[in-house]
A = this chain, B = another copy of it.
Amino acid sequence: MKEYAFNMHKLPVGVLGASGYAGQELCALADRHPHFELVFAAAHSRAGESLRLPGREIVMVSADSVALGDASVIFSALPHGASASWVIKAQQSGAKVVDLSADLRPGQPEVAIPDLDAPYGLPELNRDAIRTAQVVANPGCYPTATLLGLLPLVTRELLLPGAPVVVDAASGVTGAGNAPRPDLLFGEVTEDFRAYGVGNSHRHLYEMRATLDACGADLDLLFTPHLLPVARGILATITVTLREPLTDPLALFRTHYAVEPFVEIANAPPRLREVQHRNVARIFVTPIAHARRPMLQIFVAIDNLVKGAAGQAIQNANLLCDFDETAGLPL
């Protein structure tokens, strides 16, 4: 195994929470990034174990043993609740920080971090604020898909005020992490499909609602996640009611995302396999026939570990560091 070495031409970065699926993906992306050098990969219970990256292995270290100041950018993929205090330590060490946990995201009911101004790291919405930030709150996977599907309509005030927005989304199992849980064993998930977080109770609703509210949306967001027998990928199927019929919703979406490097507008419903291992959201939109009100369906596919987590974190770090936003990211 290769020793860590400081590379004069690259910015040193570190990962906290490297042993989870998002942390592993982050380490792999950081390790291949043209401008980043991975200087530590910290994990708590699995410190000392090796982590396979494409082409090499590294040894995870204890977060407590890490010199946070060695890194210019620190990614925290620690669990919700455990992350915020490490983000503060990382920031105090002088690093810029991308937090993949929910702790700093808008609308969280339980977490209070005084005096920490962390913009919500959805570059397609907040690019300017991210560029000048010290800390970024990387969005959740479902919110990334849902918000990218709604923003072209919400920002133009095209949705009927007060109408329900029905988001039925399905995710691969890596969205649930790699801690051993009996209900996530292969023998339980294969050939199965089920809803969870039903009745509009999933914790990702907080950041979705807060973000939509900040955009001035007045709608009832109804979100239901489902567990797919696939490793990675999210598909969100979104049903909305419009104020007025839209002549060409696909053209509107194309216009909205014309300059976005990581949003693809498709000519047909997107498939998970079109986005797996890529940092893109692939979107299709179509009018709904046989409805008395003007309605649309929006389909958004992302890789929950890439655009829904680690890839978007690298995208945010690129913005924080004033690099090309697409550097090191799989198209």
Contact = CB atoms under 8 A, between A and B. Distances in A.
A196 interface: yes
B291 A190 contact: no
Nearest to A237: B168
B186 A231 contact: yes
Interface string A44-65: 0000000010110000000000
How many residues of A sit at the interface, in one of the four size bands? 35 or more
Given A178-B187, A187-B21, A237-B168, A52 B196 contact: no
A218 B164 CA distance: 18
Interface string A130-163: 0000000000000000000000000000000010
Interface string A265-305: 00001111110111000001011111111010101010000
Contacts of A190: 186, 190-191, 229-231
A54 B200 CA distance: 30
Nearest to A179: B182
Interface of A: 21, 52, 54-55, 162, 164, 166, 168, 170, 172-174, 178-182, 184-196, 198-201, 205, 209, 220-222, 224, 226, 228-233, 235, 237, 239, 241, 269-274, 276-278, 284, 286-293, 295, 297, 299, 301, 330-331
21 contacts: A164-B295, A168-B237, A170-B193, A172-B187, A173-B187, A184-B186, A187-B231, A191-B232, A193-B271, A194-B269, A198-B286, A198-B299, A200-B288, A200-B289, A200-B291, A221-B290, A222-B288, A222-B290, A226-B235, A229-B229, A229-B230
